[in-house]
Structure 1
Amino acid sequence: MKNLDIVAFIKNNKSYFEDYITRSTYNSNAIEGSTLSYADTYAIVFKDDSFKVSAKPREIYEAINHKYALNFVIDNLQNEADERFIIEIAKIINKNINDISGFRNVDVFIRGAEHIPPKKEVVQNKMLYFIDNYNNAKHTSIFEKIAYNHIEFEKIHPFADGNGRTGRLIINYELLKHNIAPSIIPVEDRSKYFEFLKTSNVENFSIYLEDLSKQEAERLKKFLL
């Protein structure tokens, strides 16, 4: 795997591209409550007219938007994770759902979470600090960096909506940027994932993400045959 250009493989291997995009989109949206099935998701994002989909307009947009946001990430790995880059991901995620032009100017709450995100007045400064730390702070490993920053990002909840999806895309931006197989958090692990966020357990979350990446690397090998 070390000699494989993973990003080029994703772009050029149609079977794996469709597999990765569909699984990433299905699981990330399902974590947020989408009722679309895996088959629904594939049919929507790859316009498979042979499969009839009956779904809410919002869920259809969520699937389409996630695909395009993931494509945006894959096509912009050379860019630094700066304010413009992060906002653009959130804008794509929210297209035709919410009007996102920047960091939130409203107070938000996270359903089912004890943590209350910071007030709208401090979000801009919180994110400026987050971005500086993201790009400059030293970490013991790439997975520790990703776990720490994902937890911090979700604590800030910088957008009116789409924070989870945006944050999980940033996870894979960082992995793909370093030619590491992506981590797709399965909806079956939703409770475990939320517990990592709730407890800010960077160490265990980083181990979990690394394990997911290793699983994805093994899956990817099957498409090399």
Structure 2
Amino acid sequence: MTQSFRILKQIQALKERYCRLAVDKRALIKLLDETEVAEQVYNSNAIENSTLTLDETEKILMQIDLDRYINERELFGAKNLARVVAYINQKATEKELTLDNILFLHKMLISNIRDDIAGRFRNENEWVRVGTYMAPNPTEVLGLLKEMMVQYQTSDADNIIRRVAKLHLTFEHIHPFVDGNGRIGRVINNYALLRENYVPINIKFINRKEYYDAFQEFDQRGTTAIMQDIVGKALCQSFHKRLAYLEGKKIITLSEYAKQEKISHSNLLNKAKRQSIETFLEKGVWKIGV
């Protein structure tokens, strides 16, 4: 059994457990979604080279003064992305993922940062690059996005990992906006997942190298193996966290669990990273429900 197939079967089993428990516990799920907003904002912005720490991000969202000066771009970057994340958590199940909705999310994200480009795709002569990669000609953007949506809607509905990985990589390959492509691409992942009764994922800053490797793989070979691994493991973690709460388990750190069960912590850590045990990473700490 290949790693990707194992993860996919694992996710389907986790989804079944989650859906059975979620019916009568919507209030708890809403609370869990709300507690994750700051961490999602921190990780997504950090991938884009924001200098904000998780603690500073939390303070900004709670309107607590920081101990240092933060420029307006980073301030609105945190606040706006939090609004986008919250909006998707509330509305994704009600509205289909369309190009108009993507434009709406972008306007919400970029408002008060660059109003001249907020809520629109790249115009003629607005070329963008990421490192040495040059995004497609602006005149091709709309057509490529329409093709991306058709491919997503007609792809194998049973393999959510491959569908989301391909959607994300294709979107970032097109790079349809002047600014905000990465952050919008990552929230689109969650929009798509929530639409199909999965849970939102949080691509972590600590996995940035692997994340960038996934784009290089796609740009050079057109394959999605690395991104599938990232999405699959992130989905497992998200399900593991929610199930631990929904099943009323006690949440402890993995190091505490290792001491309690007299098991090698390094061995457990390796299993946690592979998601072969029901662990999740929260604020940089591996945890498990017991």
Instruction: Give the TM-score, by structure 2 length.
Output: 0.70
Q: Which residue of 109, 123, 132 corresponds with 2:128?
A: 109
**What are the ranges of 5 or more consecutive residues in structure 1 without an aligned counterpart?**
none
Does the C-alpha gap of structure 1 residues 42 and 62 become closer, same or farther in structure 2, counting only changes over 3 Å? same
Within a 5 Å distance, the mapping from 1:89-168 to structure 2 comes to 89-99=105-115, 100-105=118-123, 106-112=125-131, 114-138=132-156, 141-168=159-186
**How big is each residue's C-alpha offset from its partner over 1:132-169, in whole Å with a ceiling of 9 and x where there is no partner?**
22223335501100000110000000111100000000
The residue type paired with residue 162 of structure 2 is E
Aligned length: 221
Q: Does 1:61 align with 2:76?
A: yes
Deviation at 1:66, TM superposition (A): 0.5
Which structure has greater strand proportion? Answer: 2
Say whether the 8 Å CA contact 2:96–2:195 is kept in structure 1.
no
**How big is each residue's C-alpha offset from its partner over 1:104-141, in whole Å with a ceiling of 9 and x where there is no partner?**
114333332x3211111111111122222222333550
Residue 80 of structure 1 aligns to a residue whose secondary structure is coil
C-alpha distance in structure 2 between counterparts of 1:165 and 1:109, whole Å: 16
Say whether the 8 Å CA contact 1:90–1:162 is kept in structure 2.
yes
Residue 144 of structure 2 aligns to a residue whose secondary structure is helix
Q: Which residue of 215, 233, 251 corresponds with 1:211?
A: 233
Deviation at 1:222, TM superposition (A): 4.4
Deviation at 1:219, TM superposition (A): 2.2
The answer to which of 125-134 and 143-152 deviates more is 125-134
Residue 2 of structure 1 aligns to a residue whose secondary structure is helix
Amino-acid identity (%): 27
- Residue of structure 1 equivalent to 2:22: 5
Q: Does 1:88 align with 2:104?
A: yes
Does the C-alpha gap of structure 1 residues 60 and 32 become closer, same or farther in structure 2, counting only changes over 3 Å? same
- Residue of structure 1 equivalent to 2:37: 21
The answer to which of 168-177 and 74-83 deviates more is 74-83
C-alpha distance in structure 1 between counterparts of 2:136 and 2:162, whole Å: 24
Deviation at 1:208, TM superposition (A): 2.1
- Residue of structure 2 equivalent to 1:44: 60
Residue 79 of structure 1 aligns to a residue whose secondary structure is coil
Q: Does 1:197 align with 2:215?
A: yes
C-alpha distance in structure 2 between counterparts of 1:5 and 1:60, whole Å: 35
Q: Which has the higher contact order (CA 8 A, sep 6+)?
A: 1
Does the C-alpha gap of structure 1 residues 9 and 217 become closer, same or farther in structure 2, counting only changes over 3 Å? farther
Residue 20 of structure 2 aligns to a residue whose secondary structure is coil
C-alpha distance in structure 2 between counterparts of 1:9 and 1:153, whole Å: 33
